[in-house]
Structure 1
Amino acid sequence: MSELPFIFKISKISIVHKHPIVHGDLTPLNVLIDDDERAVLTDFGLSVILGGFTNLSVTYTDAKIGGALAWAAPELFPDHQADSKGPNPSPSSDVYSFACLMYLIFTGSRLWPDITGLNTMMRAKTGRRPSNPGTIDTRYWSLIEQCWAELPSSRPKISDVLAAVVRYLNDDGQKY
């Protein structure tokens, strides 16, 4: 659990969501650690400004075929129709991606390390998620599962996720 504290200084995500901005591409490659061991978000290339910009659109699989699919919420993938596009990234899709980051931190592995590309997308779209490998504390595992909820509206807000993490860390004697 020594890796845990630095990544959960990722309060920048909460700050981003206080403004009408969604990151849209929350992956390990887009989270850097600064000299103060604080997470800093980078690469806002798929970010969406919420409200007032109805013509903005993202085709997630066109833009991000490859490793980033492993971190994307299932609702971001288009349906099977050739002209269908998934919805734009949302605060809820960032929460899903954050849970994938939490899984990586606790296990050292992404959700499906042996599967790539469209197979990853199909697992996410059909609601498949890994089970707890036994190395993740039940409090954190419960939080990860909440963030992986099938319905985006059922996922907690990132501010609630971060508050829970801080509470768990404080309960464990780590002050944050």
Structure 2
Amino acid sequence: MTASFVTGLVALVGVVLGGWLSLHNQDRMWQREHTRQWRDIRLSVCNEFLAANRRYVAYVLDPNASITAVPHPREPGRLMPFFNESGRPYKEALEAGFTAMRLVTQRPETVRAGVSFVNCAREVAAARATLSEADIPSQAFEHLWIAEQNFINAVRSELGLQEMPRQP
């Protein structure tokens, strides 16, 4: 009688332990899959944000672009660019990509780098409002490319990748 009780108890403990291990492994697999999916989402959204920023700047540099600029209501000395009908889709795509990036990124450093990147693109656009594409100060582009590099490195860090070396 005692032997059958012990055998039954060992079998029950084995079933409980096996069930717990199975549940634990499934939970770990789900967590890994969830992390991978969010990593893919972040990468896709940040890639689209980068592309929208590039298209925005490309439009700004188009000789036919019509851009106006007015003083920023909250930041003295800064101009806000406004586009005509043909430029509005570029501005809207940049703003949508910027919002999506802020929605899915986890680290404040990534958001700060994205804000700087957008501000630098707007600076180039505001300069283009009063200058030809050839006369935009090179410093504005230098700031833009540094901001882009900082954003890329912030995203890479968020994704667990090494920082890219600085471009000469």
- With normalisation by structure 2, the TM-score equals 0.29
Q: Greater share of helix residues, 1 or 2? A: 2
Larger Rg: 2
